[in-house]
Amino acid sequence: MTTPLPPTTPRNGRVYNFSAGPAQMPESVLEQLQREIMDLDGTGIGLLEHSHRGPSYDRLLTEAYDSVRRASGLGADWEVLFLPGGSMQHFSLIAMNFIPKDGFAAFADTGLWAHKGEIETRAVRNTRTVFDGASCRFDHVPADNEIADCTGASYFCYCSNNTVEGTQFARPPKVNAPLVCDATSDLFSREYALDAHELIFASGQKNLGASGISLILVKKSFLAKADASLPGLLSYANFAKADSRPNTPPTFGVRVIGLMSKWIADHGGPKVFAVLNAKKAANIYAAIDRSNGFYRPSMRDDCRSQMSISFQLPSDALVDAFVAESEKAGLFGLRGHRDWGGIRACVYNAFPAHGSELLAEFMDDFKKKQA
């Protein structure tokens, strides 16, 4: 059963938060967490206080797995794992698990996170850059024929949404290596061929709520090839065997990802959110497009992200003024990434549609005032 998403405006003194992450969450989820922190299911024990081996946590964990499976649509040939730590941890972990000592991973360098991910990978294994986005100033993600041959690679790693630069793959690339995807900033935000991959990872704080925890989706057949000699806490296979709790897991984070995935699935899943997110993004891109070059996106039109809308202004002083004035208008978190500058508006699943309309109006007004 799908419940339509209610039109939301922030209540209780809350604001529109365009932050890239940690990011805005649905109030219904926050309110449920608030209740559960005091008392989970009438047990007299709160969410943060329940044993990770007790029946209440068993239930939360089962519910989290089920909700992730509902939101993802993935079948029984996939393993769902929760691991402590953010997305960045996984670049080296995936390398240790899936690249033999003399092997390598192929990387598409499409922006800051992909770049950092390749550096993390290189700390433990070799990599080969098969697409170098620096040469086009990261203005697009590669078409298949722009990606060099991946023969011999243990996997090809790419970032589906480049959160900083504001570019996004329309579909998984077709390359001759197993696909590994950093989907941290767009997982469950649209219909995407997850099944084309062997492993997908995302930390929580963008579309899934809590930071410091990651959701890993991995094909069982791929997991079977992992290095079995790793220390248990670095081994995905061990996490699978131990039900994502080889030691004390981040129980709160698992609950948050569970509730966020349930919220996404209950409201129609990625298919429904794709439509809502496209509308939110379109409102903001329209304001960019009618600004006669005042707002300057750096990406090609055909690679525009539906999640993180990034653009520059004519000067740093104008960026500062834009941020200051937008906050007065109740629009927060708009300053671009510190390495990229400009403005960035993230409109993840939980970001209310009306906020994107208000931002577009604000952009029109702000531009008019500078004329």
Ligand X SMILES: *Cc1c(COP(=O)(O)O)cnc(C)c1O
Burial environment of residue 315 by CB neighbours within 10 A (0 to 12, 13 to 18, 19 or more): exposed
Based on the shown chain and the rule CB under 6 A, indicate whether residue 306 belongs to the binding site for ligand X. Answer: no
Based on the shown chain and the rule CB under 6 A, indicate whether residue 185 belongs to the binding site for ligand X. Answer: yes
Q: Give min distance, CB of 307 to ligand X, in A.
A: 9
Candidates 11-19, 24-32, 144-152, 182-190 — which segment interacts with ligand X by CB under 6 A? 182-190
Q: Give min distance, CB of 190 to ligand X, in A.
A: 15
Helices and strands (H, E) in the chain, number of each type: 10, 13
Binding-site string for ligand X from residue 1 to residue 30, where x marks contact by CB under 6 A and - marks none: --------------------x---------
Candidates 5-13, 83-91, 167-175, 223-231 — which segment interacts with ligand X by CB under 6 A? 83-91
Closest-CA residue to 71 (of 237, 205, 217, 236): 217
Instruction: Report the run of H or E that residue 218 belongs to, with start and end.
Output: strand 213-219
Nearer to ligand X, 73 or 85 (CB): 85
Q: Give min distance, CB of 213 to ligand X, in A.
A: 9
Q: Measured between alpha carbons, how far is 245 from 229 in angstroms, rounded to an integer?
A: 19
Candidates 131-139, 178-186, 249-257, 325-333 — which segment interacts with ligand X by CB under 6 A? 178-186
Based on the shown chain and the rule CB under 6 A, indicate whether residue 86 belongs to the binding site for ligand X. Answer: yes
Binding-site string for ligand X from residue 136 to residue 175, where x marks contact by CB under 6 A and - marks none: -----------------------x---x------------
Based on the shown chain and the rule CB under 6 A, indicate whether residue 82 belongs to the binding site for ligand X. Answer: no
Candidates 86-94, 101-109, 131-139, 330-338 — which segment interacts with ligand X by CB under 6 A? 86-94
Based on the shown chain and the rule CB under 6 A, indicate whether residue 113 belongs to the binding site for ligand X. Answer: yes
Burial 184-196 (b: 16+ CB within 10 A, else e): bbbbbbbebebee
Scan residues 320-339 and list those touching ligand X (CB under 6 A).
Answer: none
The contacts of residue 234 (CB under 8 Å, 6+ apart) are 93, 96, 97
Token pair of 293, please? Answer: 């070059």
Residue with tokens 């005032």: 369
φ, ψ dihedrals at 350, nearest 5°: -85, -5
Token pair of 364, please? Answer: 């029109």
Nearer to ligand X, 213 or 276 (CB): 213
Based on the shown chain and the rule CB under 6 A, indicate whether residue 209 belongs to the binding site for ligand X. Answer: no
With CB under 6 A as the rule, give the number of residues binding ligand X. Answer: 11
Residue with tokens 């709520």: 209
Strands (E), 50-178: 78-84, 104-109, 126-132, 156-159, 161-162, 167-168
Q: Give min distance, CB of 261 to ligand X, in A.
A: 17
Based on the shown chain and the rule CB under 6 A, indicate whether residue 97 belongs to the binding site for ligand X. Answer: no
> Which residues lie across from 79 on neighbouring strands?
218
C-alpha to C-alpha distances, 338 to 24, 158, 162, 311, nearest whole angstrom: 20, 22, 15, 13
Based on the shown chain and the rule CB under 6 A, indicate whether residue 310 belongs to the binding site for ligand X. Answer: no
Based on the shown chain and the rule CB under 6 A, indicate whether residue 253 belongs to the binding site for ligand X. Answer: no
Contact residue for ligand X among 17, 67, 154, 203 (CB under 6 A): 203
Q: Give min distance, CB of 85 to ligand X, in A.
A: 7
Q: Give min distance, CB of 12 to ligand X, in A.
A: 27
Based on the shown chain and the rule CB under 6 A, indicate whether residue 184 belongs to the binding site for ligand X. Answer: yes
State the virtual CA torsion across 294, 360, 370, 323 in degrees, nearest 10: -100
Q: Give min distance, CB of 76 to ligand X, in A.
A: 28
Q: Measured between alpha carbons, how far is 49 from 45 in angstroms, rounded to an integer?
A: 6
Q: Which residues bind ligand X (CB under 6 A)?
A: 21, 86-88, 113, 159, 163, 182, 184-185, 203
